[in-house]
């Protein structure tokens, strides 16, 4: 060890002096390093290359690195514990003189990684894998010297595991994505009204089970496995149990502990929060916090929730006044239950600190507290909505905060809400932007006290996680890592194309295609399609075809394209010669449709309150879309809480496009007979217009999810039609119904539409 330290001390200055004489070139690394110098030449590796660890604690990282190199190159590197004068080495070691997340990567005759700790060494390994270059005759890394560290220490992604169930493979895949782009934390939202996914032996009824009997909670062994899986990659998991609100599972299933029982019905009272006025509740919550601290031992934080708290029902409990009087909560006794809420947060903060960790809460309390209770200043606040508390107020009063603004860092699948990466790249740490027009944008000049930022991904099905995050996580990483030099999106995107290609080879090494698809974007076919599955690396492919979502338990070996004639889910996985999976399963849903519309999707804004002028709007996509059917409706509703009805519903969703946008649908319809026709138009958070034969028939004027009615006379015949639609923020829903005057029920507009040839 002493020899290694002396050797590097002599070597590093020589390398940097030599590199200063060469030109600095662009390199494909995200986030962009602070300091780097590129030299001529390549360090080539082969099966004789060794990864040398100069500290035993780095051995797991060395084995992880060998696995990644093997996946993309087929080379098997050995791990050694002793340094030798062999030039064909990748050396991992520590340098105590470096800062907390600082590392140095030097590639010349050897590869040297020096880091302050295990996590920063893992980040250096991610940089190394982004640099790997594979050609037909060699595998290697460009000669380069990098000295790097992040601008902001809190770089995080939150995953909502409580609204929709996520298999272990999805959580592991997101951990690998975070490692690859140097995101430090994975925040797991483990509980909400629908599910409590953290197992507690003391409260077994919290273990939620699906309608089909399948488990929708994680075992302790699974969570402990995830903690170690993340630790080996330099990622730390932060657990969250959302309290006191978002807690229906607690107060409804164990009202004697977390809630209150109605003596008249002997059923749980609807509180919307756990019972903060009962000692039994606090004892049970402390048990939960202690268990979280034990399982997630690597995390410096525990997140206790603290947002969207409805307090009126708790004031009506008989124990409310007794508890508030005992605790000296005068404002709460006078009716201001926010004082009890703030007392609750502080009391839980004390429990968290007893475990040796720090408390994080969502922005949810007002000002700095309520009544005589001031929120403890050692609590970190994630500011997301800015309506409960202004970030400047929190900073001025001594709180440390984290930015998770709606635009661009909130991703809400049930809202089809995922601001695009280019918008995200223009964001700055002091910026908060809301999707609601009447909430003002915030731009803080001083960033002092802002620890960093977080992508918060809510209400998503497991299959949407990587689809959305793989384009957005690298943007967050770059803006928090090297903020001053993150100014050119075009340059960033060029680098992203390269890193994304490497990521796919490592973790998504399968591509699924279909023949006879209707559009370039989206997997829609009319009659039948042949499925073609290809690998991005060496190995053999297995696949499964099903009409249900989920990861299959059995696969078939893929040898040639196969034909399908019905909608369904294709799952494909790459395996090596020893039958070990390479990367993760890749899934693609293929939808059979009856084409009836030509469509064009246009760019719009959240601020717009009318249908955009399509003649001046940027065209995002065009193609053909189909008639609503039961299979497609089921797929739409799978992602929603507020389900859409089939009656009159028109498909206005397009894979990979997120709100807001404008839509134009064109086609022909057949009026069956002369007469007066009544039309019912309904949108939710959008507007629509229907033109028939060039004439405006229906003009929507409200965003309130209320039907609007119109009556027009028609002659029998075939007419061209145009639908203009604008979808703004939350619920993407367009419904058009019709009936001839004198008829009873309304009919779906699409019954009139003539199929496209």
Q: What is the pLDDT of residues 438-480, one digit of tens each?
A: 899 999 999 999 999 999 999 999 999 999 999 999 999 999 9
Q: What is the pLDDT of residues 512-537, one digit of tens each?
A: 999 999 998 889 999 999 999 999 98
In Å, what is the CA distance from 299 to each residue of 235, 284, 361, 573?
10, 21, 15, 32
pLDDT at 537: 87
Taking the alpha carbons at both ends of the chain, their separation in whole angstroms is 75
Give the number of other CB atoms < 10 A from CB of residue 304.
26
pLDDT bin (cut points 50, 70, 90) of residue 31 is: very high
Confidence check: pLDDT of 22 > 50:
no
pLDDT at 82: 80
Confidence check: pLDDT of 5 > 60:
no
Q: What is the pLDDT of residues 56-71, one digit of tens each?
A: 999 999 999 999 999 9
Q: What is the pLDDT of residues 665-716, one digit of tens each?
A: 999 999 999 999 999 999 988 999 999 999 999 999 988 889 999 999 999 9
Instruction: Give CA–CA dist 617/575, Å, rounded.
Output: 46
State the fold for domain 154-506.
TIM Barrel (3.20.20)
pLDDT at 742: 86
Q: What is the pLDDT of residues 354-408, one digit of tens each?
A: 999 999 999 999 999 999 999 999 999 999 999 999 999 999 999 999 999 999 9
Please name every residue paired with 676 in a beta bridge, in sequence order, or none if there are none.
Answer: 713
Are residues 123 and 105 in contact, defined by beta-carbon separation less than 8 angstroms?
no
Instruction: Give CA–CA dist 77/618, Å, rounded.
Output: 50
pLDDT bin (cut points 50, 70, 90) of residue 162 is: very high
Q: Which of 169, 222, 224, 308 is catalytic?
A: 308
pTM: 0.94
Give start-end residues of each CATH 2.60.120.1560 domain in the chain: 595-751
Instruction: Give CA–CA dist 181/261, Å, rounded.
Output: 49
Confidence check: pLDDT of 24 > 80:
no
Please name every residue paired with 243 in a beta bridge, in sequence order, or none if there are none.
Answer: 305
With a CB cutoff of 8 Å and minimum separation 6, the contacts of 607 are: 437
Instruction: Give CA–CA dist 203/6, Å, rounded.
Output: 57
Give start-end residues of each CATH 3.20.20.80 domain in the chain: 154-506
pLDDT at 484: 83
- 308 annotated active-site: yes
pLDDT bin (cut points 50, 70, 90) of residue 25 is: low
Instruction: Give CA–CA dist 543/551, Å, rounded.
Output: 11
pLDDT at 267: 96
Q: What is the pLDDT of residues 79-126, one digit of tens each?
A: 998 877 777 899 999 999 999 999 999 999 999 999 999 999 999 999
Residue closest to 276 by CA, chosen among 240, 238, 329 = 329
pLDDT at 83: 74
Give start-end residues of each CATH 2.60.40 domain in the chain: 510-592
- The CATH number assigned to the domain with range 595-751 reads 2.60.120.1560
Give start-end residues of each CATH 3.30.379.10 domain in the chain: 2-148
Q: Which CATH class is domain 2-148?
A: alpha beta
Q: What is the pLDDT of residues 205-219, one digit of tens each?
A: 999 888 888 899 999
Lowest mean pLDDT among 7-16, 250-259, 644-653: 7-16
Instruction: Give CA–CA dist 449/205, Å, rounded.
Output: 41
Please name every residue paired with 93 in a beta bridge, in sequence order, or none if there are none.
Answer: 114
Q: What is the mean pLDDT of residues 569-583?
A: 95
Helix (H, G, I), strand (E, B) or coil at 51: strand
pLDDT bin (cut points 50, 70, 90) of residue 197 is: very high
- The CATH number assigned to the domain with range 510-592 reads 2.60.40
Q: What is the pLDDT of residues 261-303, one digit of tens each?
A: 999 999 999 999 999 999 999 999 999 999 999 999 999 999 9
Q: What is the pLDDT of residues 593-602, one digit of tens each?
A: 999 999 999 9
């Amino acid at each position: 060890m002493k020899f290694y330290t002396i050797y590097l001390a002599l070597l590093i200055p020589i390398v940097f002096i030599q590199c200063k004489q060469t030109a600095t070139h662009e390199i494909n690394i995200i986030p962009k390093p602070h300091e780097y110098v590129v030299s001529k030449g390549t360090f080539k590796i082969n099966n004789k290359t060794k990864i040398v660890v100069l500290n035993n604690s780095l051995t797991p990282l060395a084995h992880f690195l060998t696995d990644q190199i093997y996946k993309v190159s087929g080379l098997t590197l050995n791990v050694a514990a002793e340094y030798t004068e062999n030039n064909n080495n990748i050396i991992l070691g520590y340098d105590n003189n470096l800062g907390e997340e600082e590392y140095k990567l030097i590639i010349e005759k050897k590869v040297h990684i020096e880091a302050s700790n295990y996590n920063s060494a893992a980040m250096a390994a991610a940089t190394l894998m982004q640099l790997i270059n594979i050609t037909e005759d060699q595998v290697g890394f460009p000669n380069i010297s990098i000295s790097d560290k992040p601008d902001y220490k809190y770089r995080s992604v939150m995953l909502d595991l409580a609204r929709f169930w996520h298999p272990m493979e999805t959580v592991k895949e997101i951990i690998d994505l975070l490692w690859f782009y140097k995101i430090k934390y994975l925040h797991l939202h483990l509980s909400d009204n629908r599910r409590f996914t953290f197992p507690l032996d003391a409260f077994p009824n919290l273990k939620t089970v699906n309608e089909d009997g399948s488990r929708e909670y994680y075992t302790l062994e699974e969570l402990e496995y995830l903690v170690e899986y993340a630790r080996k990659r330099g990622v730390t998991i932060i657990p969250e149990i959302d309290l006191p609100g978002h807690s229906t599972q607690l107060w409804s299933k164990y009202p004697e502990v977390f809630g209150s029982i109605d003596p008249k019905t002997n059923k749980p009272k609807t509180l919307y929060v756990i019972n903060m006025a009962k000692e039994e509740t606090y004892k049970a919550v402390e048990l939960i916090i202690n268990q979280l601290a034990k399982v997630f031992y690597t995390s410096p934080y525990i997140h206790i929730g603290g947002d969207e708290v409805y307090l009126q029902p708790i004031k009506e409990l008989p124990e409310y006044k007794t508890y508030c009087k005992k605790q000296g909560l005068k404002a709460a006794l006078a009716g201001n239950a926010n004082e009890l809420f703030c007392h609750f947060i502080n009391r839980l903060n004390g429990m968290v600190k007893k475990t040796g960790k720090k408390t994080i809460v969502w922005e949810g309390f007002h000002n700095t507290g309520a009544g005589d209770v001031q929120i403890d200043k050692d609590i970190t606040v994630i500011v997301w909505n800015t309506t409960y508390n202004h970030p400047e107020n929190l900073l001025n009063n001594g709180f440390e905060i984290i930015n998770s603004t709606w635009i661009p860092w909130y991703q809400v699948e049930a809202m089809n809400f995922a601001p695009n990466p280019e918008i995200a790249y223009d964001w700055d740490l002091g910026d908060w932007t809301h999707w609601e027009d009447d909430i003002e944008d915030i731009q803080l000049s001083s960033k002092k006290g802002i620890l960093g930022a977080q992508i918060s991904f809510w209400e998503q099905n497991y299959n949407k996680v990587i689809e959305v995050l793989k384009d957005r996580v690298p943007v967050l990483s770059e803006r928090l890592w090297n903020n001053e030099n993150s100014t050119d999106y075009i340059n960033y995107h060029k680098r992203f194309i390269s890193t994304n290609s490497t990521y796919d080879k490592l973790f998504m090494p399968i591509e699924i295609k279909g023949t006879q698809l209707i559009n370039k974007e989206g997997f829609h076919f009319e009659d039948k399609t042949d499925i073609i599955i290809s690998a991005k690396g060496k190995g053999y492919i297995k696949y499964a075809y099903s009409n249900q979502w989920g990861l299959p338990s059995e696969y078939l070996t893929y040898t040639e394209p196969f034909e399908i004639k019905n909608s369904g889910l294709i799952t494909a996985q790459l395996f090596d010669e020893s039958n070990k999976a390479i990367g993760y399963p890749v899934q693609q849903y293929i939808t059979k449709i009856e084409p009836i519309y030509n469509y064009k999707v246009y760019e719009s804004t959240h601020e717009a309150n009318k249908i955009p002028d399509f003649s001046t709007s940027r065209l995002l996509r065009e193609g053909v879309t189909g008639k609503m059917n039961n299979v497609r409706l089921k797929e739409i509703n799978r992602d929603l809480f507020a389900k859409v009805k089939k009656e009159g519903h028109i498909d206005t969703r397009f894979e990979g496009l997120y709100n807001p946008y404008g839509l134009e649908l064109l086609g022909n319809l057949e009026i069956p007979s002369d007469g007066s026709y009544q039309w019912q138009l309904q949108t939710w958070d959008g507007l629509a217009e229907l033109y028939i034969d060039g004439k405006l028939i229906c003009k929507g004027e409200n965003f309130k999810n209320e039907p609007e009615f119109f009556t027009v006379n028609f002659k029998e015949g075939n007419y061209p039609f145009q639908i203009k639609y604008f979808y703004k923020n939350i619920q993407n829903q367009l419904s058009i119904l019709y009936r001839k005057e004198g008829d009873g029920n309304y009919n779906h507009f699409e019954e009139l539409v003539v199929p496209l040839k």
